[in-house]
Amino acid sequence: MENCFKFALVASLCIVIHFAQASRCPLSEQDQWKEFRNSCYFFSETSTTWQSAKESCEENGSHLVDILSRGENEFIHQRLNTYRYSEDYYIGATDRQHEGYFVWESTRSALGYKNWNVGEPNQHLGTPENCAEIKTDNGKWNDVPCDIVMRFICKRPVSRE
């Protein structure tokens, strides 16, 4: 019986180690990291300002998400719909440095692929709106004031070791 218990313990440990090694994205209790095309995406469950979201991504070895293709946008949009939150999420696009000229914060490069909602970006009613969000309902982007608190999405390459 004792041997049986030891065997079960070792087998369980082996399974845990196997899955830990097989994962190319970080593991988290709430399963917030998801893999798509060699990148890992973190979908936050807490809400904060854009600057604080940026710092939070950097603290976990990632950056606020840059969305570079329609396929990537669709992956993110589908994932947001699985969460059933009606909230929108910060992404890494900003025109904080030059009004009207949006860049991806991680690389400071101009947006290539774009998916703005109709009429956006617009600095609604003259309010400074220098940070971008992705809308959960339609996957489109909107510029909003950077001090609004909302959930956010981080991105980093998969681990290769």
Give the separation between CA 22 and CA 16, rounded to whole angstroms: 10
Answer with the entry of ligand 2F8, Ca ion, none that 96 interacts with (C-beta below 5 to 8 A by kind).
none
Selected range binding ligand 2F8 among 4-12, 18-26, 68-76, 118-126, rule: CB under 6 A = 118-126
Selected range binding ligand 2F8 among 16-24, 29-37, 76-84, 121-129, rule: CB under 6 A = 121-129
Answer with the entry of Ca ion, ligand 2F8, none that 68 interacts with (C-beta below 5 to 8 A by kind).
none
Q: What is the CA radius of gyration of the chain?
A: 19
Residues 23-42 that bind ligand 2F8 (CB under 6 A): none
Instruction: Please name every residue paired with 63 in a beta bridge, in sequence order, or none if there are none.
Output: 155
95 lies in the binding site for ligand 2F8 (CB under 6 A): no
Give the separation between CA 135 and CA 156, rounded to whole angstroms: 21
Give the separation between CA 35 and CA 42, rounded to whole angstroms: 9
Nearer to ligand 2F8, 47 or 60 (CB): 47
Residue (of 5, 29, 25, 11) closest to 154 by Cα position: 25
129 lies in the binding site for ligand 2F8 (CB under 6 A): yes
Instruction: Please name every residue paired with 35 in a beta bridge, in sequence order, or none if there are none.
Output: 40
Only one residue has tokens 């400074």, namely 128
Selected from 114, 122, 128, 149, the binder of ligand 2F8 by CB under 6 A is: 122
Answer with the entry of Ca ion, ligand 2F8, none that 148 interacts with (C-beta below 5 to 8 A by kind).
ligand 2F8
